[in-house]
Amino acid sequence: MPCKKTKKQKSESIKPKLQLILFIMNIFITGASQGIGRELVKKLAKENHRIIALSRNEEKLESLVRDCKALNKVSKLETIPFDLRDLKSNTHFIVQRTEETFSNLDILINNAGFLTTEPFSQISDEILSKTMEINFFAPFILIQQLLPLLRKSKNAHIVNIGSMGGINGSSKFSGLSAYSSSKGALAILSECLAEELEEDQISCNYLALGAVQTEMLSNAFPGYEAPLNPKEMAEFIADFALNGNRYFNGKILPVSVSTP
Ligand SMILES: NC(=O)c1ccc[n+]([C@@H]2O[C@H](COP(=O)([O-])OP(=O)(O)OC[C@H]3O[C@@H](n4cnc5c(N)ncnc54)[C@H](OP(=O)(O)O)[C@@H]3O)[C@@H](O)[C@H]2O)c1
């Protein structure tokens, strides 16, 4: 004879379905063509999240779509080949593309970055502008532009990818003055936005990454062996982006087992 389910058993049996529905997020990631960003997209696409991935290199984005399909046949990944330095002049393009794909935006991960190792005395206007444009102005403008869509989400999370060099009191390295200062500006922006966007239920955190074995690191510090590979770091960032806003807001969090 079939026995009647208790109240607890009933609620447990509907839980997995409910979680599955709630767990699918609309996510925008910059700097997706290689390194940490590419691994992040793969990890989140495998978990069925809907993703927009932006960076300049179209071929790499196309191969990313193929990688994601191989990991998850029903992965939902849109790509935007775009130079973040054009955000100011091309104001509505990103918003338009995002609105065509998402009705709201749950997570924005500002991951794209540019690193110069030129000594302070030799940094040109061009390199300084490029550093600030990609590492600071782009996240600033992108957050502004996507704010209406973030506001439509119940608990949106902005995750700004920074660096150990971009926070107070950490070890500093010669040649990283422009890079670290730009990441420092992004750290303070993250604290400011946590306050200013709180009423909209939007959290904003900054992850100060330590060394990860990517092209950026190998070019800057040839021969240095990082303790983490991009996939390992992406696993942490993905989990933080999905869940971290339950525990943190306006925080500058070191994610490093070593410095740099
Ligand atoms: N690796 C480390 O040790 C380390 C440590 C601390 C912090 N971080 C931070 O982690 C993030 C990811 O770094 P990574 O090591 O993975 O670097 P990476 O391998 O050099 O990747 C950087 C990504 O940013 C994109 N990008 C660069 N300029 C762009 C632009 N103008 N417009 C659009 N996209 C642009 C690149 O794509 P396209 O070239 O296709 O545009 C690429 O996908 C960066 O913010 C970096 O500062 C890294």
What are 212-221's pLDDT values in tens digits? Answer: 999 999 999 9
> For residue 2, is pLDDT > 90?
no
CA distance 162 to 203: 16
Report yes or no on 20 lying in a domain. Answer: no
Report yes or no on 16 lying in a domain. Answer: no
Closest atom of ligand 1 to CA, residue 165: 6
Closest atom of ligand 1 to CA, residue 212: 3
Report yes or no on 224 lying in a domain. Answer: yes
Report yes or no on 260 lying in a domain. Answer: no
**Ligand 1 site, residue 56, Cβ cutoff 6 A:** yes
pLDDT (tens digit per residue) in 27-62 = 999 999 999 999 999 999 999 999 999 999 999 999
**CATH code where residue 214 lies:** 3.40.50.720
Q: How far apart are the first and last CA of the chain?
A: 65
> For residue 11, is pLDDT > 80?
no
Strands (DSSP E) contained in 66-155 are 76-81, 107-110
Report yes or no on 17 lying in a domain. Answer: no
When pLDDT is averaged across residues 64-79 and rounded to a whole number, the result is 97
pTM: 0.93
Question: Smallest Cα–Cα separation from 33: which of 85, 87, 92, 79?
Answer: 79
**Ligand 1 site, residue 212, Cβ cutoff 6 A:** yes
Residue appearing with tokens 């775009």: 82
Total number of domains constituting the chain = 1
Question: HSE-up of 173 (CA within 13 Å, CB side)?
Answer: 18
What type of residue sits at position 19?
A: Q
> For residue 7, is pLDDT > 90?
no
Report yes or no on 18 lying in a domain. Answer: no
pLDDT (tens digit per residue) in 162-196 = 999 999 999 999 999 999 999 999 999 999 999 99
| Band of residue 260 on the pLDDT scale cut at 50, 70, 90 | low
**135: domain range?**
25-255
**Ligand 1 site, residue 55, Cβ cutoff 6 A:** yes
| Band of residue 91 on the pLDDT scale cut at 50, 70, 90 | confident
Query: Which helix (H) or strand (E) element contains residue 162?
Result: strand 156-163
Report yes or no on 44 lying in a domain. Answer: yes
**Ligand 1 site, residue 84, Cβ cutoff 6 A:** yes
Report yes or no on 19 lying in a domain. Answer: no
Mean predicted lDDT score pLDDT of the chain: 92
| Band of residue 259 on the pLDDT scale cut at 50, 70, 90 | low
